Amino acid sequence: MSNQGYADELRSEQGYLAGLYARLDAERARAKGRYTAAVDGNGGLEAMERDVHVRASAREVKRLDVADNGLCFGRLATLSGEHRYIGRIGLFDEANDYEPVLLDWRAPASRAFYTATAASPEGMRARRQFHSRGRTLVDFTDEVLGRPDGQERGDAALLAAVNAPRGEGMRDIVATIQAEQDEIIRLEHPGVLVIEGGPGTGKTVVALHRVAYLLYTQRERMERHGVLVVGPNPAFLHHISRVLPSLGESDVVFATAGDLVPGLRVTAEDAPEVARLKGSLKILDVLAAAVADRQRVPREPVAIELGGVTGRIDAETAGWAREEARASGLPHNQARAVFTEIITYALTERAIGRIGKGWLTRSDKDGWEQVRKDLVGELADDEVFAATLDELWPVLTPQDLLGSLYASPERLRSAGADESLLRVDSTEWTVSDVPLLDELVDLLGPDKAPDEAAERERKAEAAYAAKVLDSMISREDMMDDEDHLFATDLLFAEDLAERFVEQDTRDLAERAAADRDWTYRHVVVDEAQELSEMDWRVLMRRCPGRSFTVVGDLAQRRAAAGARSWAAMLEPYVPDRWVYRSLTVNYRTPAEIMAVAAAVLADFAPTVQPPDSVRSCGVAPWSRHVTAADLPEAIEAFTRTESTREGTSIVIGPPGTPGAVPASETKGLEFDAVLVVDPDTILADGPRGAAELYVALTRATQRLGVLHQRPLPPSLRGLAETGSA
């Protein structure tokens, strides 16, 4: 194409894009108008219906707002000469039978934009990729498909994206999705999809685009329950949090494994051996035994004064009550009612027999029941009886039970738990405690006291509403008309009371995150190799439909309780309902850096094949020997140099290294430049340390340096030694 021809095409495409933006602006104005009308209550809608309209229109406004950035990023030309423009959302020509003027990237007709090659053009003649700044088209590149030489798809746009400096947060790849990634994104599988890939293969961003695709193709099924995305740490979640909103999807809850019980935000970790014990399914027996240990019988009979006689709660009576309560199958707190009922029955039966001796027999059923009723009322006010019940069958919360278990060597022994679980601060929760606390929610059941208080409040509100209704129907003008409908003909008191309940205006993500019993339609688990068997129990509870996208790399596992195989973790829950896909191309780490990381990988996981880097950066990784006194200045020199360059940088080192971040906190993140400090100290932590060093070395997209105070580990001795950073 001549320079003039290119300039003419550029102007033509800019005109088309301007038309798309005009449509976008018009749709956005209409959506904001609908939102304002719904908020103001125009249209005479009922409150509940109005809330639905408010939320729907708010979602639409948000979807149109995020589409502004990179609205259209390419064009397909078919063999018949038709042009298909591909973008973040779909736009239609209302005046022309809603003919599409912009195809959503998730639509079936858009797929060829990502999968067509010169050898397999899929009915396409050419692909054009746009490069825009804001609403201005800067340039475009063309790729002719179906050429006889069978040349594969050009990678100019991809290389431009992977070479670009990193900013804050992960970017979407909607304009540069590769064929192997697109196949996974659009995979129609109703169960669990495992995506495994080495560092930089794009597995996380592929999983997020898969969520956007599922929300597009199965919106009615998924949007009312939303999606849960679980990541390894808060920094990672912050890093990826913009991807789905940038694709127009906001009904997503982001959480770490330490956030899965509402009200808790846990980041502390146990020692590896303790984490392994807590992460194993064997801990279920410990929890059940710990609950059973709190269901006791008295060592000595407890005297209860009742109706002028003295009754006793002895081991035999309490044992009978405990057996019946356990046999009910109810959670601990709810089974307390059965326990209480049996104890009450035994005490009152014995007391009635003594009180009524000589004048009351069982044949006098009314008299017998009246005395029982009086005695039951007396027991309800008896402090000794109440205290005894609390001692023998206490109402427990998960935190109460687990904290008291960790604090007591005797209780640990009674529950068959390892003594290493004993700790001084029994309620300083760790990430490994969260699935145990979640399990105890089901074992214990709800604490009834708050429920009873809420029920009393509800009844009080209903009583007040009933008075309001009484005053309405007592009006004289209504009493004269036999055919007039009374308020109570249309509305019950409890209905009126509910109208005064404050409406829940939180969006779906806020409501889901605050509700332990919320169930999601789909769950994404990133760095899934770190999750324990107990973690998986929590997640399976959150998604009864078992629809998961699981992302991980077994070679990067650092958790003692983490996965050693995907089958071991998934088969108990989804036998024959999980599929495996792998990503083999490294889009993040240049070949020069990946060669260094691959040498470390070969040492601790020799059977694992490192991913192939798609590019080189032309900058060799370096190492430098420093003394302890020189180390702070060397780190400062690296930070100072990188601050003058575009992009991001980080220093990664063993815990406690001044100015450095532990490798475990960088999982899933990427930076233009990385400085790794004291790799031998990181490696000293055994297999876990080797995995962490591998993670540290593969965070860089452009530049990698290593500072060492002792000789380099053998796997890193190929690094070029330099005198300065």
Tens digits of residue pLDDT in 288-327: 999 999 999 999 999 999 988 999 999 999 999 999 999 9
Check whether 227 has a pLDDT greater than 80.
Answer: yes
Res 633: pLDDT: 96
Amino acid (1-letter code) at residue 626: V
Token reading at 270: 């146990």
CA distance 309 to 303: 10
DSSP tag of 714: G
CA distance 198 to 583: 8
CA distance 403 to 428: 9
Token reading at 497: 């009371």
CB hemisphere CA count around 142 (13 angstroms):
10
The pLDDT of 75-98, averaged and rounded, is 92
When mean pLDDT is compared across 93-97, 193-197, 569-573, the lowest value belongs to: 93-97
Closest CA to 89 of 211, 252, 251, 246: 246
Beta strand extents in 595-666 (DSSP E only): 612-613, 622-625, 649-652
Closest CA to 650 of 701, 588, 579: 701
CA distance 698 to 721: 19
Instruction: Please give the biggest Cα pair distance in the chain.
Output: 119
pLDDT > 70: percent of the chain: 86
534 or 468, greater pLDDT: 534
Answer whether 693's CB lies under 8 Å from 604's CB.
no
Of the ranges 217-231, 454-468, 499-513, 694-708, which is most confident? Answer: 694-708
Phi, psi for residue 565 in degrees, rounded to 5: -155, 150
Closest CA to 385 of 298, 292, 293: 298
Q: What is the pTM for the complete model shown? A: 0.81
620-to-600, 610, 612, 646 alpha-carbon distances in Å: 17, 19, 17, 19
Count of CB atoms situated within 10 Å of the CB of 640: 10
Tens digits of residue pLDDT in 457-467: 555 555 655 55
Cβ neighbourhood burial of 554 (10 Å; 0-12, 13-18, 19+): middle
Check whether 501 has a pLDDT greater than 50.
Answer: no
Tens digits of residue pLDDT in 513-569: 999 999 999 999 999 999 999 999 999 999 999 999 999 999 999 899 999 999 999
Phi, psi for residue 622 in degrees, rounded to 5: -135, 160
Tens digits of residue pLDDT in 596-650: 999 999 999 999 999 999 889 999 999 999 999 999 999 999 999 999 999 999 9
What residues contact 397, with CB distance under 8 A and at least 6 apart?
Answer: 444, 447
Amino acid (1-letter code) at residue 207: A
The pLDDT of 57-80, averaged and rounded, is 84
Check whether 426 has a pLDDT greater than 90.
Answer: no
102 Rama sector, left if φ>0, alpha if ψ -120 to 50, beta otherwise: beta
CA dihedral 363, 365, 370, 372 (to 10 degrees): 80
pLDDT confidence band for 482 (50 / 70 / 90): very low
103 Rama sector, left if φ>0, alpha if ψ -120 to 50, beta otherwise: beta
CA distance 492 to 465: 9
Closest CA to 133 of 58, 70, 67, 213: 70
DSSP reduced 3-state for 530? helix
Q: Please, what sign has the CA dihedral across residues 262, 268, 274, 277?
A: positive
Answer whether 202's CB lies under 8 Å from 208's CB.
no
Q: What is the mean pLDDT of the chain?
A: 87
pLDDT confidence band for 473 (50 / 70 / 90): very low
